[in-house]
Amino acid sequence: MTLPEGAAVLEVRNLTKRYGNTLACDSLNMSIQEGMTLGLLGPNGAGKSTFIRMLMGLTSVDSGDIFLFGHDAISPSQEIRNRIGYVPELHHIYRWMSIKEVLGFVSKLYQRWDDALANDLLLKFELLPKMRVAALSKGMTAKLGLIIALAHNPDLLILDEPTSGLDPIIREDFLESILQSHTCKGRTILFSSHHVDDVERVADDVAIMVNGRFAIRGTVDDLRSRIKRIRIVLPDGKLPKIVPPQVLFQRIARREWTVTIDQFSDALFNQLVNENDAVNAEVFDLNLEDIFKDVVRGQKSQIEEACNDLGSH
Amino acid sequence: MIWALIRKDARLLRNYLRSAVVVTGCSYLVTAIVIHRESLPDASTPWGTAMTLLVLALGSNLGFLATAFMAALMAGSVFTLERSDRSAEFLACLPPTRKQNLVSKLSVVLVPVGLMIFVHILTNITAHQVSAYVPAGSYLRNRLVFATGILTYVSIIIATLGGALAVSALLKSNGVPVLCGLFSPFFVLGVVLILGYVLDIPAEGNAFANRYATNAFVIGGAFAAMGCYWYLTRNST
């Protein structure tokens, strides 16, 4: 199964999932091109894991389409699964098996399993083959999960909060292996996390997911250059007259209006300063963590406003 | 690939498989001990041959019932054990399809149950042969259930297996599926009695046993087919 020309390795169209009244994923649209690493950032409950579980066929899809390697993959075929490496947040590897038995079992299921690579990774991660999975620590189990995901040379690596709960040293080993896998093999990677620094380190492209939607997407540099925070001191007793539509988050404390804006430009800055009769104004560069926090806070305040509107009606 | 899955499932059910071997052996051992403690049915019968006959015949009957119990235990656990510790999620992310997993799981349940049934049929037939050399053989032949009995026993096993498999496909723990499996033969009995009452069919002798066996085969088979279908089409793992 080869990737059709121009097709994305992963593409979703209007992907929707509901749990009762809760909309876990709301008409998601996105694609990942071959060789790209997409970092999926989002707070807890944003819908990242549901999205990834739908990609893996572990959770049913209410509506929408999933295409993996250019083929329909609402329930991924055996051939597609052979090309995907998946590392979940919580590993449910057979506890009664030893590491050797797990790798022996899994090796017979994958067409491209590389025993030498599996052994190299075992040595690198200092895992003893005779150890039972039940006796492994959380970090060791995560490492075993990564070995299983990498040793069959997948074309697409899907990582769902893989470093969650790991100590800094294991986290470092983990990220290094992912980076190495990306650099040496040119794999496409979808890396979900709420650790901004992990995503910043690994990802080419970042998508921020809030309340079941992709709020924003771009490269780290692109996001840094286009999203800025402006602090404007307003005249006494005045509120902002002009609020541009590309506001991601705003906060007013006495006379100080702090606004985070997408698609920042000097012209927009001047417009805000002039039309709001600003006493003083400053522009701040943001790092990815600040951008993430402001996008999340902004989306949450939008929902609160919508709820208040509903309540008042 | 399928062999790797079968090996894994056999290891998953290893305690039940070991129990099946022990239970099969014990069926005959217990019968032998009981008979040894009791007096012979006919004093003129040579001790060794009569003993063998009784152990084989009664042991196989006891064995059939033990097989039904083991069938419920294994079929009730085959889907649920992986769900209860969530290793089914790990399996669901690997390349094998649900059909392949189902084939593997059914093999691990059906082959041992089939072997147990085969052993008991073989011993029952042997008992039947031995009875020809025992003066009390004809008496025993009438008393012990042979051809019709075997069919009834096998149908009971199918009913337990089907009932347990159907419920196992829906749940995460094996307690309820095993109980449902064990209850299935009684459910079938209820169906046969109600149908007999409604359609005014007399419930006597071999005809009733045959009717029960036919119903148990059909209902048990239908339960098993439903279980397989539910396993294949379930949304979650």
**In whole numbers, what is the pLDDT of chain B averaged over residues?**
83
Contact (CB<8Å) A94/B8: yes
Contact (CB<8Å) B11/A96: yes
Question: Is the pLDDT reported for residue B69 higher than 80?
Answer: yes
Give the pLDDT confidence score for residue B134 in this predicted structure.
Answer: 59
Give the pLDDT confidence score for residue B63 in this predicted structure.
Answer: 87
The pTM assigned to this predicted structure is: 0.83
Pick from A114-128, B34-48, B60-74: least confident:
B34-48
pLDDT tens per residue across span A172-190: 877 887 777 767 777 889 9
pLDDT band at A162 (very low <50, low <70, confident <90, very high): confident
For A198-217, b where at least 16 C-beta lie within 10 A, e where not — what string? bbbbbbbbbbbbbbbbbbbe
Of B85, B88, B235, the CB nearest to A60: B235
Find chain A residues with C-beta within 8 A of B1's C-beta: 108-109
Average the pLDDT over B82-111 and give the result: 91
Residues 6+ apart with CB under 8 A from B111: none
Residue of A nearest to B97 (CA): A78
Q: Please indicate if any CB of chain B lies within 8 Å of the CB of A269.
A: no
Residue of B nearest to A106 (CA): B94
Q: Please indicate if any CB of chain B lies within 8 Å of the CB of A92.
A: yes
Contact (CB<8Å) A58/B93: yes
Contact (CB<8Å) A78/B97: yes
Average the pLDDT over B32-47 and give the result: 59
pLDDT band at B218 (very low <50, low <70, confident <90, very high): very high
Contact (CB<8Å) A60/B1: no
Give the pLDDT confidence score for residue B158 in this predicted structure.
Answer: 94
Contact (CB<8Å) A88/B89: yes
Of B11, B85, B95, the CB nearest to A92: B85
Of B12, B86, B94, the CB nearest to A106: B94
Find chain B residues with C-beta within 8 A of A97's C-beta: 11
Q: Please indicate if any CB of chain B lies within 8 Å of the CB of A1.
A: no
Q: How far is A44 from chain B (nearest CA, A)?
A: 21
pLDDT band at B146 (very low <50, low <70, confident <90, very high): low
Residue of A nearest to B82 (CA): A94
Dist CA B101 CA B5 (whole Å): 7
**In whole numbers, what is the pLDDT of chain A averaged over residues?**
85
Q: Please indicate if any CB of chain B lies within 8 Å of the CB of A53.
A: no
Of residues B108 and B201, which shows the higher confidence score? Answer: B108
Dist CA A18 CA B54 (whole Å): 63
Give the pLDDT confidence score for residue B221 in this predicted structure.
Answer: 94
- Report whether A258 contacts A231 (CB < 8 A): yes
Question: Is the pLDDT reported for residue B131 higher than 90?
Answer: no
Contact (CB<8Å) B236/A58: yes
Pairing of strands A256-261, A228-233: antiparallel
Contact (CB<8Å) B92/A58: yes
Residue B105 to residues A213, A271, B72, B78, B79, Cα–Cα distance (Å)? 39, 69, 14, 6, 8
Contact (CB<8Å) B96/A109: yes
Average the pLDDT over A193-206 and give the result: 85
Find chain A residues with C-beta within 8 A of B92's C-beta: 56-58
Length of chain B: 237
Q: Which contacts (CB < 8 Å, 24+ apart) does range B190-198 have?
A: B191/B215, B191/B219
Q: Please indicate if any CB of chain B lies within 8 Å of the CB of A2.
A: no
Give the pLDDT confidence score for residue A300 in this predicted structure.
Answer: 67
Find chain B residues with C-beta within 8 A of A94's C-beta: 8, 12, 87, 90
Average the pLDDT over A29-58 and give the result: 90
pLDDT band at B144 (very low <50, low <70, confident <90, very high): low
Residues 6+ apart with CB under 8 A from B31: B54, B55, B58, B59, B62
Residue A305 to residues A131, A253, B187, Cα–Cα distance (Å)? 54, 18, 58
pLDDT band at B229 (very low <50, low <70, confident <90, very high): very high
Dist CA B110 CA B10 (whole Å): 11
Of residues B232 and A299, which shows the higher confidence score? Answer: B232
Of B85, B88, B95, the CB nearest to A110: B95
Residue of B16, B90, B99, B100 to mutate, testing the A interface (most A Cβ within 10 Å of its Cβ): B90
Dist CA B70 CA A143 (whole Å): 38
Q: Which contacts (CB < 8 Å, 24+ apart) does range A175-181 have?
A: A175/A201, A175/A202, A177/A121, A177/A124, A177/A146, A177/A150, A178/A146, A178/A202, A181/A150, A181/A157
pLDDT tens per residue across span A240-252: 777 788 888 888 8
Average the pLDDT over A266-278 and give the result: 84
Give the pLDDT confidence score for residue B77 in this predicted structure.
Answer: 92
Q: Which contacts (CB < 8 Å, 24+ apart) does range A75-81 have?
A: A77/B97, A78/B95, A78/B96, A78/B97, A79/A1, A80/A1, A81/B93, A81/B94, A81/B95
Q: Is A187 exposed, middle or buried (0-12, 13-18, 19+ CB in 10 A)?
A: buried
pLDDT band at A312 (very low <50, low <70, confident <90, very high): low
Contact (CB<8Å) B90/A91: yes
Contact (CB<8Å) B4/A110: no
Give the pLDDT confidence score for residue B43 in this predicted structure.
Answer: 46
DSSP letter string, A17-78: EEETTEEEEEEEEEEE-TT-EEEEE--TTSSHHHHHHHHTTSS--SEEEEEETTEE-SS--H
pLDDT band at A265 (very low <50, low <70, confident <90, very high): confident
Average the pLDDT over A88-112 and give the result: 91
Residue of A54, A58, A101, A160 to mutate, testing the B interface (most B Cβ within 10 Å of its Cβ): A58
Query: What ipTM, to 2 d.p.?
Result: 0.81
Displacement of CA A22 from its chain's centroid (Å): 20
Give the pLDDT confidence score for residue A131 in this predicted structure.
Answer: 92
Contact (CB<8Å) A108/B1: yes
Average the pLDDT over B174-193 and give the result: 91
